[in-house]
Amino acid sequence: MNVAKALHQAITSRSEIEPFSKKGVVIGTDEAYDLQDELVALLDSPVVGYKLGLVSKAKQIQMKVSEPVYGTLTAAMEVAPEDPVPFAELIHPRCEPELVFRIGDDIDATEHPVTASEALAATAAVTGGIEIIDSRYQAFAFTHTDVIADNTSAARYVLGTRWAHPAEVDLGLLGMILEVDGEVVASAAGASLAGHPAQALALAANHLGRRGQILPAGAVVLAGGMTDAVPLKPGMSVAATYASLGSVTVRVPR
Ligand code: OOG
Ligand code: MG
């Protein structure tokens, strides 16, 4: 079975599929990332960044996978802040609040791993955003390697419009509140991400380094959901408000 082709078909036909682990397909982590690269190539849109997943305890508990995963963002996945969520193009989307890095200088961890402070020193700016994830698997249930092959459920993302230099904000203490239809449903701080968002960024750079790739200047990196993901429903509005970085809202058409 061609795993990447089956996942791509699930995306284009907006239909969920059975996880490969359930079909007796046994793959290792490296192979799962190779399959992700194959899937991303099939998406046929320029790579503009990367994402982390399953970084916060909240997400690890919700998804029952306790190790971070790394995914790839393409240009076609970006949704402008004022645009409605393209609900009809998705299977069973959920959204989650995420801090976002814009890389200023190439981060090269191909020779040796970088530290959180080295990664932060190469960061041009940070903002808050919302990721819209959409597992291609039935009931949003998967193993570690299933979700890696599925490009870590990446579907769409919205970036905030207020960017700060990382030295201007205390990323670990940076607070966020999440509201659904005007009601606060969750809150978190940057430290929910691997102890500090810069630590999450270093994890992503080091993952790419192990795969012989750099994290290039200009790339955006979504640092991982800070809270449980919220299933989107028609008519719903979800807002994430970040200390000193403003607010991002996604609206689902009725
Ligand atoms: C996997 C992707 C997780 C995050 O930020 O934790 C993710 C999933 O939950 O479907 O994007
Ligand atoms: Mg995410």
Q: Whose CA is nearest to atom 4 of ligand 1?
A: 53
Residues with CB under 5 A from ligand 2 (ion): 131, 225
Query: Which is the closest atom of ligand 1 to the Cα of 94?
Result: 10
Q: Which residues, judged by CB distance below 6 Å to any ligand atom, belong to the binding site of ligand 1?
A: 51, 53-54, 59, 63, 96, 131, 133, 135, 147, 152-153, 224-225, 229
Q: How confident is the model at residue 177 (pLDDT cuts 50, 70, 90)?
A: very high
248 C-alpha vs ligand 1 centroid, how far in Å? 18
Q: Whose CA is nearest to atom 9 of ligand 1?
A: 63
**Per-residue pLDDT tens for 2-13?**
999 999 999 999
**Per-residue pLDDT tens for 201-214?**
999 999 999 999 99
3 state SS for the chain: CCHHHHHHHHHHHCCCECCHHHHCCCCCHHHHHHHHHHHHHHHCCCEEEEEEECCCHHHHHHHCCCCCEEEEEEHHHECCCCCCCCHHHCCCCEEEEEEEEEECCCECCCCCCCCHHHHHHCEEEEEEEEEEECCCEHHHCCCHHHHHHCHHHEEEEEECCCCECHHHCCCCCCEEEEEECCEEEEEEEHHHCCCCHHHHHHHHHHHHHHCCCCECCCCEEECCCCCCCEECCCCCEEEEEECCCEEEEEECCC
CA distance 83 to 128: 17
* pLDDT reading at 95 higher than 90: yes
* pLDDT reading at 137 higher than 70: yes
CA distance 34 to 41: 11
**Per-residue pLDDT tens for 12-27?**
999 999 999 999 888 9
For residues 204-228, average pLDDT: 98
68 C-alpha vs ligand 1 centroid, how far in Å? 9
* pLDDT reading at 31 higher than 70: yes
* pLDDT reading at 1 higher than 90: no
52 C-alpha vs ligand 2 centroid, how far in Å? 6
CA distance 28 to 213: 20
CA distance 109 to 112: 5
Which of 36, 59, 98 has most ligand 1 atoms within 8 Å of CB, for mutation?
59
**Per-residue pLDDT tens for 152-169?**
999 999 999 999 999 999
134 C-alpha vs ligand 2 centroid, how far in Å? 10
**Per-residue pLDDT tens for 125-134?**
999 999 999 9
Residue 62's nearest CA partner among 21, 96, 33 is 96
Query: Which is the closest atom of ligand 1 to the Cα of 54?
Result: 6
The pairing of beta strand 94-103 with beta strand 220-222 = antiparallel
Question: Among all ligands shown, which has an atom nearest to the Cα of 135?
Answer: 1
For residues 215-219, average pLDDT: 98
**Per-residue pLDDT tens for 44-86?**
999 999 999 999 999 999 999 999 999 999 999 999 998 999 9
Q: Percentage of the chain with pLDDT > 70?
A: 100
Q: Output the pLDDT for position 25.
A: 87
Q: Percentage of the chain with pLDDT > 90?
A: 98
